[in-house]
Structure 1
Amino acid sequence: MSQLPGVEVVPRQTLLDVTDLIEFFQRRESVSGVQRVIAETAPLLLAADPYLLAVILDRPRGVFVALTRAEVAQFFGAAVSANREAQANDADTCLLRAQTAPPVRIDANTVLAFLGAVWINDALMLAARDAHALGAKLVYLLYDLTPVLETGHTAAVSRLFERYLNLVLDTASMVPAISQSSRNDFVAYAAAHGAKAPAGSVTGLPCGITPGRYDTSVRPWPRPYALFVGTVEARKNHVLALNTWKQLVDKHGIDGVPDLVCIGRLGWHADEFLRAYVESNGLGGKVSLLSTSVSDAELAAFYANAEFTVYPSRYEGWGLPVSESLAFGKLPVVARNSSLPEAGGTLAVYFESDNAIDMAIVIERDALNLETRMRIESQIADNFVDLTWQHVADAISHDIEQARSREGRKPMYPTIDLGREYVLAAGEDAPDSGYADQYLRHLQTEGLTPMLRQPRSADDFIVVDAGVIGTFGSPQTWGLEIRPGCRADFRFTRPVAGPLTILISTRSMPGLARIDAIGPGGPVQQEVYLGSVITLPLGDGAAGEPAQVTLSVTDAADSIEGFLGIKSFVVLAAEDLQTQVIALKSAADALRQELDFVTNTRSWKVTAPLRKLKGRGAS
């Protein structure tokens, strides 16, 4: 394993982002799912490529920082600590060091690979966009398209995932996927959005829990049972399993059916199952739910001593509980959809997805019939071969090399509408229209843009994500923060011919910041009072030509929070002075309202004598 200490670019430089795993350690959570993929494959990739650097995102600056050799050994070496508290302390130290460490330099010689859950980290998505703009070739490991193909997610989660998919389609050179099903879904999604999906390998996934690593001789349950492992959420379809068990108990009697033991943390939108489970008292004790404190060792014992397993999920990217069941020699009864036939192959038995009657028939035929089940278990013992993490790492490494050999993706210059204000933060969903007062307040405040008071558009992110690139702090509910030494590039295709001007609204807070701006309208240096509007010339040009202006913060010492916050932008014809006045007046009105609020607070009135004494005014 080779972790280079410096930040200079070397030939064939590859950066492996491990932010997701390090922040997972920081939260004191046990490694599973996506994070297990990073934990298992990163050491293999690091060992195989002497030019590979493990990097993390420094959120306040929006830049990638290389791990030190000591940190690589802590998180990926042979003696990695299994103690969550120790891991969390190491992660805290690592992320704190990153805040003052020099960033890695990124250019066209760089390949940057993401193995983690980029879709839940909007700061990481911003940094990936910036790396692409600097010339890097990006590789993303694709898991599934659950938030856009399955209901049961919040609008915010679905919107964030759409932003992730747009990011991948705009910037990826290669996209390996954990299953052919996920790959097919990605290709179909791209086609439906007028894009071509980047190529990529299919990796598959090895089991997370395997026999031989734990003592499974002690039975964890007092009666015969079937096992269902999976997060308790709508997609996993616990309610179908409950209904199927009711059918089986009604037909065969309470002693003719094994218990159903469900193991998994509580997720979202599982209210239908939880209500039925509580109201029926777990079908009179035949169905049990263990949602917390089941260790890997205990889970292995549950697998090893189960009669069989069930997995009725409506959609998966792979289906680890299916392959884990096979690893323990147990028959999995599985819904036929998405990637589940890839995980189960010819050794699992399948029922029609979301069909309780068919699920019950298959369980009766293949699982409750002891002779049939033993025959299938014999086939499993003779034929099941688990994938290896080396196989996964080799597939990812292959795609990294493919990305290196390909021409990098071209920079994005999105098409914008002249005079339309684009908001940089994802808007909050409107409250239920049944609450008329709240709904009206939302339409008149959060539902309008800051400068021109235009209705906000839900698809602003399509332009904003591609058109506003830079080194930002973590995205905020109001927009983006630019700290001293950091920058924002506004880039787009000119909507019309002629001279243009860009207006950028800033977040209101006490103080000012100093900026430099470089663009086709020439260099600009300004002192910006926070809450005012920045006006920058974009020069002259033909419609359809690319335009870009770069805004850098040189000093924010006189601002209370130490950064410049930007909220929205609009591009206008340079001679459109009327609209510029409207934008400036909106900013002035907002500042006046804020000042009125401050000066009417009790603390302002109480400190008036002190301000008068200091010569700073008491009124």
Structure 2
Amino acid sequence: MENDIVGSDVKKFQRKIWFDVSDLLGYFPDNRTPTGIQRVQISIIQSILSGSESEEIALCQFLEDENGWFLVDPDRFVKVSTLSLMGSDARDLVWRREVSTLRQEAMAERIDAFPLRSVLINIGTSWWLPNYFMHIREAKKKSDIYYIPFIHDVIPAVVPRFCAHELVHEFIDWFMGVVQHSDRYFAVSEASKKDFLALATELNAGIPSADVRVVHLAAEKKTVSVPTAAATSLFRREGIEPGKFVFFISTVESRKNQAGALDAWQNLIRNNPKLPIPKLVIVGKRGFESHFFLEKLATFIEAEKHIVYIESVSDEELAALYSSCLFTIYPSYYEGWGLPITESLGYGKVCVTADNSSLPEAGQGLTVTYRTGSNHDFEEKLLSLIKDRGHLSALEQHIAENFQARHWETIAQEVLAFAHAVQEGAEQTKKIEPVLESAYYPLNRNRQLKISSDLTSAEVLRDGSGWHRLEDFGSWTRGTGARLTFTVAQPCNRIAIQLKGIPSSHCEVTVSANLAGSSTKLRLNPDEEAWCFLDFDGDIAGKKLNIDVYSREVETTTNPETGHSRVISVGVCGVYLFDKTNANARTDFIEAKLFDLLKYKKMKKLLCTQ
């Protein structure tokens, strides 16, 4: 029998393939024009919803503040995602109203449990969603679901210099979670798959290559049409002449190398005074370290004659820019795929691109490539296309004859086929069952900037949904009771739980376990950190342990990350397992506690079995 779903017609919930659109619904309130990953999600999901398989799937989102999963109406989703492609004004009243309605309606239908053995696919990103994997575990426990994420890239772990430190921290937390919880994976390129598997190996995850299905992104052939009134207005307003500009679209950030493109244009103008250098039109919203580009643009000699920068355009305007440009450029330092290259080829336009990561895959061997990091090579390749229009025409003809079109409908079918194969394979879904050695296991969020073999996360010890997000000290409970679940690998008869009092009042805490002789109470002062000890009647090695932490005292505070109010109860900082075979275990613990060494001590590898 299917699991019941509260607040909606049960027929809506009988679909066995679910798409998590949390990423998009979190993006839309503050943004309208989709970037690469959002565009991929919209294209794949809309392709499925418009086809014969639409009755097979359902959409959902995860909300941290609401502590659960919610149903998303597909018709409303299509309407909003289509609107996002039709305009670029995020302040438009129609747009804001539709986004608000979508979110409000989605919050009205909570999913208590997915149908048994469902497949949950996340095409977007989830590393910015605290407690996401905690709820994936709950869904696996309740409904035995399969979880399949898309690996778009592993940029924060491979080239962290191009990312904010907080993003790298979040990504590494996500990476540990994704290899622990996922049953299979999609990757958007062979390059992304290779880098993902290399990082997983570094983490001792041991993921078989066959578990990662590469699904190359779309390379649709576009029909060049007459520019619309909106596109014509854009060209007139920005001083863009068809056939006399080079186009570069991407989020403006240091990794995408818009600053390097400005340097190249400055050199082309300076070194070729008699040659008419086409304008460079750059489109993209501001991202990480965009100030480098903006500062360089502000000092560009006669920028108004040579450079056009536009933060966002509609799909109509985008099509006109692709159709009317001389050629495109994409000098990125690292990518998971490179959708602008694919789109450029679809319009029959030559793209000058760097030779790193997945960019050659996206280019199908039809791009003009230069050596990454070689400004001279980049400028030489640009100059050859600007000076020799016959050469440019020959390259365009080569694209017309050899371009391999690939449609979003095809990708959608490949995604569904893989999901069905996983579901019908009758394999057990991955279970998260932590096995601990004697050591200290802090429940705080990751603060490291590199994936390494000794990196692990005790987040998976949290069982159920009675927890708030991880913070630097550990994790607050919700006042409804919270559970830690794990199996002890070595002889052990004592466990210590490190607790933290709520900020403004005293709290009485009860800590108990499912094994005999293990219950204790203590009183915590405001913000006090203290240890409580569970002593067991016998050795608990090999036994599954459920430790419940509860306090009826709660306090309403503000979430430091979101600014939303929340109700918290006693916090849990970490767990310490004593080694029964070590006669000095208690002395070692006391010394470590006395000199505050636990926080500096590397915890042993946390093992998860299926």
Q: Which residue is equivalent to 1:89?
A: 100
- Rounded Cα–Cα distance in structure 2 between residues aligned with 1:584 and 1:509: 25
Q: Which residue is equivalent to 1:232?
A: 252
Q: Which residue is equivalent to 2:34?
A: 31
Q: Which residue is equivalent to 1:401?
A: 420
Given candidates 110, 114, 123, the residue that maps to 1:115 is 123
Which residue type is aligned with residue 19 of structure 1? S
Distance 1:260 1:81, change over 3 A: closer
Q: Which residue is equivalent to 1:465?
A: 459
Q: Which residue is equivalent to 2:321?
A: 302
Q: Does the CA-based 8 Å contact 2:473-2:573 persist in structure 1?
A: no
Percent of aligned positions with the same letter in both sequences?
20
Q: Which deviates more, 221-230 or 518-527?
A: 518-527
- Rounded Cα–Cα distance in structure 2 between residues aligned with 1:516 and 1:97: 35
Could you list the per-position Cα deviations for residues 207-254 of structure 1 after superposition, in whole angstroms to 9, with x for gaps in the alignment?
699556883573554452111111221111223322322332233226
TM-score of the two chains, using structure 2 as the length reference: 0.78
List structure 1 segments (4+ residues) > 6 angstroms apart after TM superposition: 7-12, 457-461, 513-516, 525-528, 557-560, 574-587
Within the alignment, does 1:355 sit opposite 2:365 as a pair?
no
Given candidates 174, 181, 192, the residue that maps to 1:171 is 181
Within the alignment, does 1:124 sit opposite 2:132 as a pair?
yes
Given candidates 378, 393, 396, the residue that maps to 1:377 is 396
Given candidates 45, 49, 53, the residue that maps to 1:42 is 45
Map 1:518-529 onto structure 2 (within 5 A). Answer: 518-521=513-516
- Rounded Cα–Cα distance in structure 2 between residues aligned with 1:307 and 1:336: 21
Distance 1:251 1:555, change over 3 A: same
- Rounded Cα–Cα distance in structure 2 between residues aligned with 1:377 and 1:556: 70
Q: Which deviates more, 38-47 or 55-64?
A: 38-47
Q: Once superposed, what is the RMSD of the aligned Cα atoms?
A: 4.0
Could you list the per-position Cα deviations for residues 265-311 of structure 1 after superposition, in whole angstroms to 9, with x for gaps in the alignment?
222234544443333336x5554252424333322222221111111
Cα offset for 1:58?
Answer: 3.2
Q: Which residue is equivalent to 1:180?
A: 190
Which residue type is aligned with residue 181 of structure 1? A
Q: Does the CA-based 8 Å contact 2:512-2:547 persist in structure 1?
A: yes
- Rounded Cα–Cα distance in structure 2 between residues aligned with 1:535 and 1:51: 50
Could you list the per-position Cα deviations for residues 529-570 of structure 1 after superposition, in whole angstroms to 9, with x for gaps in the alignment?
575657363736668635432436585567776332424123
Which residue type is aligned with residue 141 of structure 1? F
TM-score of the two chains, using structure 1 as the length reference: 0.77
Given candidates 250, 261, 282, the residue that maps to 1:262 is 282
Q: Which deviates more, 45-54 or 370-379?
A: 45-54
- Rounded Cα–Cα distance in structure 2 between residues aligned with 1:78 and 1:463: 37
Distance 1:79 1:412, change over 3 A: closer
Distance 1:114 1:415, change over 3 A: same
- Rounded Cα–Cα distance in structure 1 between residues aligned with 2:531 and 2:470: 20
Q: Which residue is equivalent to 1:76?
A: 78
Q: Which residue is equivalent to 1:60?
A: 65
Which sections of structure 2, spanning at least 5 residues, go unmatched?
85-93, 558-565, 597-610
Distance 1:79 1:26, change over 3 A: closer
* SS of 2:188 mapped into structure 1: coil
Given candidates 9, 16, 24, the residue that maps to 2:19 is 16
* SS of 2:281 mapped into structure 1: strand
Q: Which residue is equivalent to 2:216?
A: 204
Which residue type is aligned with residue 152 of structure 1? F
Which residue type is aligned with residue 482 of structure 1? T
Q: Which deviates more, 239-248 or 530-539?
A: 530-539
Which residue type is aligned with residue 60 of structure 1? D
* SS of 1:510 mapped into structure 2: coil
Distance 1:310 1:181, change over 3 A: same
Which residue type is aligned with residue 75 of structure 1? F
Distance 1:313 1:581, change over 3 A: closer
Q: Does the CA-based 8 Å contact 2:224-2:347 persist in structure 1?
A: no
- Rounded Cα–Cα distance in structure 1 between residues aligned with 2:378 and 2:205: 38
Q: Which residue is equivalent to 2:166?
A: 156
Could you list the per-position Cα deviations for residues 349-395 of structure 1 after superposition, in whole angstroms to 9, with x for gaps in the alignment?
11111211111222233453111111222232344343222222222
Q: Which deviates more, 193-202 or 109-118?
A: 193-202
Given candidates 483, 497, 500, the residue that maps to 1:502 is 497
Distance 1:51 1:363, change over 3 A: closer
Cα offset for 1:333?
Answer: 0.9
Could you list the per-position Cα deviations for residues 315-369 of structure 1 after superposition, in whole angstroms to 9, with x for gaps in the alignment?
1111111111122222111111111112111322111112111112222334531
Within the alignment, does 1:327 sit opposite 2:335 as a pair?
no
